[in-house]
C-alpha cells in the first residue's frame, strides 16, 4: 500500500518525477499530478480508470498564478474568486496552450481551483507547476474524504498520500462557467447556490450530462457505492428481509428498517454537517455487506442541493 504521511518535500519530489500522489483538500482528496506533464496526466486517467472525455480540475495556490495558464478571467469570475478563493469553488476559464487537451478533454476551457487547505496550499506554493487533481477514487465510486480512504482503494497504484486529516467540506467544489455573459453552475458543490447568487446575481443551473461533459463531475452516474443504492419510494418491505437492508438518512431514522443498520448524516438537521459525512457514511454502509442501501433526498436548499445531486447520481442505473 501507499505511504501515508505529512512530508511536503517527499510529495514534491514524487510530483517532480512525473508520478502522482494523493492530496488533501477541504472538499475531497485528489489524485494529483503535474498539470503540464502529459505522462503524469495519463497516469491520473489510468490509475482512476477514468474516461478521457471527462476533464480534470487544475489546482494552484493563488489567483495570480491562475494567469499562468488561462488567457482571461471575466469580471464576474474575478468577483467570485475574491469572495470564495481559496475555497470550494472551481471556475471554468479559457485556457492557454500550456494546458494540454488531455487535461481538458479537448475543450478550450480549463477548470481552475484554489483549495482552502493549509497542507495543499503549502504544497502548491512550493511547486513551479499547477496540479491536475480529480478525486482520488476509482472512477464512478464514492469520493474519498480521508487519507485512509485513498489508501484503501488506490494504495496499490500510488506511492504516497499526503495526509491532511478529514476533509472539512466533504463534497466536491461548485463549478461555474461563463457563457455569452451568462453565469452557469455546471456542478453543484461545496458553495450553496444562495451564496453564489448573493455575489453575482441569478445563475442558471445546468444538470449533469451523460456524455461529453462541459466540465468535470457532470456525468449522470457517479459517486456510487458498490451496493445498490435506492430511494425509499422503491422499498417493498413485504418482499425484503430488512436485516439485509441499510439506510442513509438525514436527521431521522426510518421506522421500517433496523436502527443498527442506519446512519444519519446529521441528527441535528445541519446541511453542512450532512455534506461532511455524506461520502464517509456511504462507505461505511457499503462495507456492511447489505443487499441494498436505501436513502432519501434532503431539503433542496443550501448544501442540500449539492448533496441531493450526489445522491441522485449515486442511485442512477445506466
State how beta strands 89-94 and 109-113 pair.
antiparallel
Query: Are 191 and 88 contacting, i.e. CB atoms less than 8 angstroms apart?
Result: yes
Torsion of CA 71, 82, 223, 95, to 10 degrees: 0
CA distance 144 to 24: 10
Determine if residue 27 is labeled as part of a ligand binding site. yes
Instruction: Report the C-alpha gap between 68 and 104 in whole angstroms.
Output: 16
What is the spatial distance between Cα 302 and Cα 307, in angstroms, rounded to a whole number?
9
Question: Was 223 annotated as part of a binding site?
Answer: yes
The angle formed by the CA atoms of residues 156, 159 and 160, to the nearest 5 degrees, is: 115
What is the secondary structure of 134-182 as a DSSP string?
A: -BSSSTTBPPP-SHHHHHHHHTTT-SEEE---S-SS-SPPEEEEEETTE
Sign, CA torsion 98/103/109/113? negative
Distance between CA 99 and CA 137 in Å, rounded? 23
Q: How many other C-beta atoms are found inside a 10 Å radius of the C-beta of residue 75? A: 9
36 annotated as ligand-binding: no
77 a known binding residue?
no
Is 173 assigned to a binding site? Answer: yes
Question: Over the range 236-271, which residues count as b (16 or more CB within 10 Å of their CB) and which as e?
Answer: eeeeeeeeebbbbbbbeebeebeeebbbbbbeeebb
Specify burial of residue 184 (Cβ count, 10 A radius: 0-12, 13-18, 19+). middle
* 113 annotated binding-site participant: yes
Q: Is 210 annotated as a binding residue?
A: no
Would you say 133 is a known binding-site residue?
A: yes
DSSP state of 235: -
Q: Report the alpha-carbon distance of residue 199 to residue 186 in Å, rounded.
A: 17
Q: Is 67 annotated as a binding residue?
A: no
Please give the order of strands across the beta sheet that includes 292-295: 228-231, 292-295, 245-249, 262-264
The annotated binding site for ATP is made up of: 50, 59, 109, 135, 143, 187, 223
The annotated binding site for L-threonine is made up of: 27, 113, 133, 173
Amino acid at each position: 500500500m501507499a505511504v501515508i504521511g505529512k512530508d511536503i518535500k517527499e510529495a514534491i519530489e514524487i510530483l517532480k518525477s512525473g508520478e502522482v500522489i494523493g492530496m488533501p483538500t477541504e472538499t475531497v482528496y485528489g489524485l494529483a499530478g503535474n498539470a503540464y506533464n502529459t505522462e503524469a496526466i495519463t497516469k491520473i486517467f489510468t490509475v482512476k480508470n477514468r474516461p478521457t472525455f471527462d476533464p480534470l480540475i487544475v489546482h494552484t495556490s493563488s489567483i495570480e498564478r491562475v494567469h499562468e495558464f488561462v488567457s482571461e478571467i471575466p469580471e464576474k469570475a474575478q468577483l467570485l474568486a475574491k469572495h470564495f478563493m481559496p475555497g470550494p469553488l472551481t471556475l471554468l476559464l479559457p485556457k492557454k496552450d500550456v494546458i494540454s487537451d488531455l487535461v481538458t478533454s479537448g475543450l478550450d476551457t480549463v477548470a481552475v481551483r484554489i483549495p482552502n487547505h493549509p497542507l495543499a496550499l503549502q504544497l502548491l506554493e512550493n511547486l513551479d507547476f499547477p496540479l491536475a487533481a480529480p478525486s482520488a477514487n476509482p472512477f464512478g465510486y464514492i469520493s474519498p474524504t480521508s487519507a485512509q480512504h485513498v489508501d484503501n482503494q488506490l494504495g496499490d497504484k500510488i506511492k504516497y498520500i499526503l495526509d491532511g486529516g478529514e476533509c472539512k467540506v466533504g463534497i466536491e467544489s461548485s463549478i461555474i462557467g461563463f457563457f455569452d455573459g451568462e453565469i452557469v453552475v455546471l456542478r453543484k458543490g461545496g458553495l450553496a447556490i444562495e451564496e453564489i447568487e448573493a455575489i453575482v446575481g441569478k445563475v442558471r443551473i445546468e444538470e449533469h450530462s451523460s456524455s461529453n461533459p462541459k466540465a468535470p463531475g457532470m456525468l449522470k452516474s457517479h459517486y456510487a457505492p458498490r451496493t445498490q443504492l435506492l430511494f425509499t419510494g422503491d422499498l417493498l418491505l413485504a418482499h425484503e428481509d430488512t436485516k439485509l437492508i441499510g439506510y442513509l438518512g438525514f436527521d431521522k431514522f426510518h421506522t421500517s428498517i433496523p436502527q443498527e443498520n442506519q446512519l444519519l448524516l446529521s441528527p441535528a438537521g445541519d446541511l453542512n454537517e450532512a455534506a461532511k459525512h455524506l461520502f464517509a457514511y456511504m462507505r461505511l454502509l457499503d462495507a456492511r455487506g447489505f443487499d441494498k442501501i436505501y436513502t432519501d433526498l434532503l431539503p433542496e436548499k443550501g448544501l442540500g442541493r449539492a448533496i441531493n445531486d450526489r445522491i441522485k447520481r449515486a442511485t442512477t442505473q445506466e
